[in-house]
Structure 1
Amino acid sequence: MIKRRNRTKHTKTFEERLAEEAARLKEAAAQLPPGAQRELYLRRARQAETASHINEWLTSPGLQPPIALENMQVGKRAKRHRGASD
């Protein structure tokens, strides 16, 4: 028997869902007295905010792909050879 994944069509963006989750967790933490559960909610709120920032950075148009290490070393050798002959 093949299991099928339940697919959901989100009406809000990932950023919006993360922001709502962070706000909900902060509000829940504000209702609790100081303690482990409150700290857990605040930590999860910070994690949602961090995830939002990382997602924003990853989806930004200015993000460049990493340069392969081999290309960097070849470029250094070429510069050394040019500097010796100049």
Structure 2
Amino acid sequence: MEWVIVMKRHRFKQEKLLGERLAKAARLAREKADQLPPGAERDALLEKARQADATAHIDGWLNSTGLKPPT
């Protein structure tokens, strides 16, 4: 007899859309960066905010109603 172990993933539903979560992450990173003196940590937070904004923008494109599948 062969035994098979099945691993179940714990899934949960996000309460907010990805774009909303990214916008909040960007805002929080900028707020924290504003409290720091110029330096590597501040630059890293500002870069994180910039990347979150860019990702939210791309997510908006992908979820837009004008987006059409390739033919």
Q: Report the TM-score, using the length of structure 2 for normalisation.
A: 0.81
* Ranges in structure 1 where 5+ consecutive residues have no aligned partner: 68-86
Q: Which residue of 1 aligns with 2:63?
A: 59
Shift of 1:17: 0.5
Aligned-CA RMSD value: 1.5
AA aligned to 2:59 is N
Structure of greater Rg: 1
AA aligned to 1:44 is K
How many percent of aligned residue pairs carry the same amino acid? 48
Shift of 1:59: 1.1
1:32-71 equivalence runs, <5 A: 32-66=36-70
Aligned residues: 67
Q: Report the TM-score, using the length of structure 1 for normalisation.
A: 0.68
3-state SS of 2:14 partner = coil
